[in-house]
């Protein structure tokens, strides 16, 4: 990671002044840190100003985990080279660079035709030294950039929405009626400082009559429980007929991230082997500046017999690669169509990089 900033030296006196630049580091992360000042010696004419460029580069240790933060800090020192009678004083400018370690995952190919044998071969590569994970979802929505400014503010600008399901999971051993687990993923075009400042809504229609019966909402749990922000991001399932919250589960949405994942229990939203299909759509808003972004139309999914395979969790070491197989059920695509796969990489740089979209094309002939 490299950042450059400009420092301006201004001389308000009647004589030119010359300074020698040096760097005093106060903290350096594991790995390599380089700080340079150009020019290293600078003369500022009388009543004029001169700019110098400070460059800080951090190359983190490969042992740094994804999302780990490292800080490089210190002081750039401008020492006058004239004698003490010149009236010039030593100038000190602090610097701080906080580096977030990120993976760099990319899934290939960029598109897949519906295969005759029901399987598609894909490859995920990590071009970074930092390890990362890829999580596979059925891709339900793609949303345009910049259509979120609907009430004068800025909501998280939805880019893509996906879903995955684990129907055989019993998430709570002491609650046998709770069956199956699902997860929605929402990727935005731009980062959000904290997911807790926004609300992410997924409306679930298990009887497919065009009216949502349940809401899976990602929001600050403290706002829901005590009426104040606590920074704890949760996925809350709400029965829309009664307005009552059914369950709250921990959700993911890191600092300065563009992606959230919202888990829910399948049986909580009326899904079972006897009623496996549902429709869903999504919306976002923000508590900071207003605004609303909504997906257009509704996506379909079968949680018990999905049209494409989901739920693979791929762990990639630094510079690593994983070849993996995804299933495609052409018949199911006819009844619960999806756009393809949404491969979520939350340890990647924020924005669209955090979700690779692999579209499914028409069947092979």
- Over the stretch 85-122, which tens digit does the pLDDT of each residue have? 667 889 999 999 887 788 999 999 999 999 999 999 99
| Inter-CA distances, 285 with 37, 111, 265, Å | 43, 31, 24
As a whole number, the mean pLDDT across the chain is: 91
Residue 303 in tokens: 């949680």
Cis peptide before 39, with omega less than 30 degrees from 0?
yes
Model confidence pLDDT, tens digit, residues 9-50: 999 989 899 999 999 998 877 666 889 999 999 999 999 999
Helices (H) and strands (E) in the chain, counts: 2, 25
**Distance separating alpha carbons of residues 313 and 345, to the nearest angstrom:** 10
Q: With contact defined as beta carbons under 8 Å apart, do 136 and 311 qualify?
A: yes
Confidence of residue 364 (pLDDT cuts 50, 70, 90): very low
Residue 151 in this model has a pLDDT that exceeds 50: no
The residues, any chain, with a CB within 8 Å of residue 227's CB and separated by 6 or more, are none
89, HSE (Cβ side, Cα atoms, 13 Å): 5
Residue 106 is inside which H or E element, if any?
Answer: strand 105-108
DSSP of 137-189, one letter per residue?
EEEEEE--TT---SSSS----EEEEEEEEETT--S-TT-TT---EEEEEEEEE
Lowest mean pLDDT among 7-21, 63-77, 216-230, 295-309: 63-77
Residue 148 in tokens: 């979120």
- The 8 Å CB, 24+ separation contacts for 83-92 are 86/15, 86/17, 87/13, 88/17, 88/19, 91/9, 91/19
**Distance separating alpha carbons of residues 283 and 291, to the nearest angstrom:** 11
Confidence of residue 60 (pLDDT cuts 50, 70, 90): low
Number of residues that this document lists for the chain = 365
β-pair partners for 183:
164, 263
Model confidence pLDDT, tens digit, residues 161-198: 999 999 999 999 999 999 999 999 999 998 888 888 89
Residue 68 in this model has a pLDDT that exceeds 80: no
DSSP state of 73: E
Confidence of residue 236 (pLDDT cuts 50, 70, 90): very high
Residue 365 in this model has a pLDDT that exceeds 50: no
Residue of 359, 356, 357 whose CA lies nearest to 133? 356
Residue 325 in tokens: 């197989």
Name the pTM for this structure: 0.85
| Burial (Cβ within 10 Å: 0-12, 13-18, ≥19) of residue 147 | middle
> What is residue 149's predicted lDDT score, i.e. its pLDDT?
52
**Distance separating alpha carbons of residues 242 and 133, to the nearest angstrom:** 38
DSSP state of 333: H
């Amino acid at each position: 990671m490299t950042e450059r900033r400009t420092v301006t030296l201004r001389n308000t006196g009647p004589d030119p002044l010359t300074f020698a630049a040096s760097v005093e580091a106060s903290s350096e992360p594991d790995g390599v840190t380089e700080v340079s000042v150009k020019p290293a010696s600078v003369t500022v004419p009388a009543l004029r100003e001169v700019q110098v460029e400070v460059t800080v580069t951090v190359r983190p240790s490969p042992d740094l985990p994804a999302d780990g933060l490292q800080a490089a800090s210190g002081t750039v020192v401008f020492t006058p080279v004239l004698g003490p009678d010149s009236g010039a004083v030593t100038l000190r400018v602090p610097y701080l660079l906080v580096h977030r370690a990120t993976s760099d995952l990319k899934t290939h190919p960029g598109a897949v035709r519906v295969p005759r044998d029901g399987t598609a071969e894909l490859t995920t590569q990590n071009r970074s030294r930092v390890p990362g994970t890829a999580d596979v979802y059925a891709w339900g929505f793609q949303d345009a950039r910049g259509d979120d400014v609907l009430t004068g503010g800025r909501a998280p600008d939805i880019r893509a929405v996906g879903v995955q399901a684990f129907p055989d999971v019993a998430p709570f051993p002491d609650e046998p009626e709770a069956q199956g687990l699902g997860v929605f993923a929402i990727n935005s075009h731009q980062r959000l400082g904290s997911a807790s400042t926004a609300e992410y809504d997924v409306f679930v229609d298990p009887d497919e009559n065009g009216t949502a019966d349940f809401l899976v909402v990602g929001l600050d749990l403290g706002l829901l429980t005590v009426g104040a922000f606590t920074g704890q991001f949760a996925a809350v399932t709400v029965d829309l007929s009664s307005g009552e919250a059914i369950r709250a589960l921990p959700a993911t949405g890191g600092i300065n991230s563009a992606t959230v994942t919202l888990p829910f229990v399948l049986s909580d939203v009326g899904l079972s082997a006897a009623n496996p299909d549902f429709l869903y759509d999504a919306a976002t808003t923000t508590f900071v500046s207003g605004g609303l972004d909504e997906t257009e139309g509704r996506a379909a999914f079968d949680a018990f017999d999905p049209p494409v395979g989901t739920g693979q969790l791929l762990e990639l070491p630094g510079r690593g690669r994983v070849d993996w197989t995804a299933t495609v059920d052409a018949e199911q695509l006819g009844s619960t169509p999806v756009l393809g796969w949404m491969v979520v990489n939350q340890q990647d740089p924020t924005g669209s990089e955090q979700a690779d979209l692999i579209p499914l094309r028409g069947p092979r002939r």
